[in-house]
Copies of this chain bind each other. A is one copy, B any other.
Amino acid sequence: MADAAAKERRILVAVDEGEESMHALSWCLDNLASDKSMANDTLVLLYVKPPRSVYTAIDGTGYIFSSDVLSAMDKYSNEVAECVMEKAVTRVCKDHPDVKVETRVEHGDPRDVICQMTQKLGADVLVLGSHGYGPIKRALLGSVSNHCAQNVKCPVLIVKMPKSPAGHN
């Protein structure tokens, strides 16, 4: 079994705009994969855009945003996703320029989407920060890491920031 590290692994890393998920990514690169084995691995970076319902009112609540506001929200959400992905890919390529990287941007409840994508993509391990999703979304959506640890079938690596529990970027 000592040579199992040579087989290809799909490492799914859930990233978001917080520094904690970037720390989780770095820790994973430094510890989960040596330079040798990383060449056989595929790193899948997953960013989950929050569900529209977090920002927008649902039919029946009496609040309806104009299409301009909805459009601006979508634009903002896409820009954040692009920014996060660029930062994450840069972080990976800096340390492991030979690693295969895939990026996925999905939307929905991060808890459900991460679990679904872990299974769909056949991930061998799921890596995420302990908060998973920043303080605002955590308050709205609950603990992502707890939910994923309980529901995905593959190993889960939960990485916290070494000192401050809050992201500081």
Contact = CB atoms under 8 A, between A and B. Distances in A.
B125 A31 contact: yes
Interface string A6-35: 000100000000000000101101111011
A149 interface: yes
A71 to B, nearest CB: 39
20 contacts: A2-B95, A2-B96, A4-B31, A5-B30, A5-B31, A5-B35, A9-B31, A31-B124, A32-B32, A34-B34, A34-B36, A130-B149, A130-B150, A146-B150, A149-B149, A153-B162, A154-B160, A155-B157, A155-B159, A157-B158
A161 to B, nearest CB: 9
How many copies the complex holds: the figure is 2
A37 interface: yes
Interface of A: 1-2, 4-5, 9, 24, 26-27, 29-32, 34-37, 95-96, 124-125, 130, 145-146, 149-150, 153-160, 162
A35 B96 CA distance: 19
Most interface-central of A36, A125, A149 (chain B CB within 10 A): A149
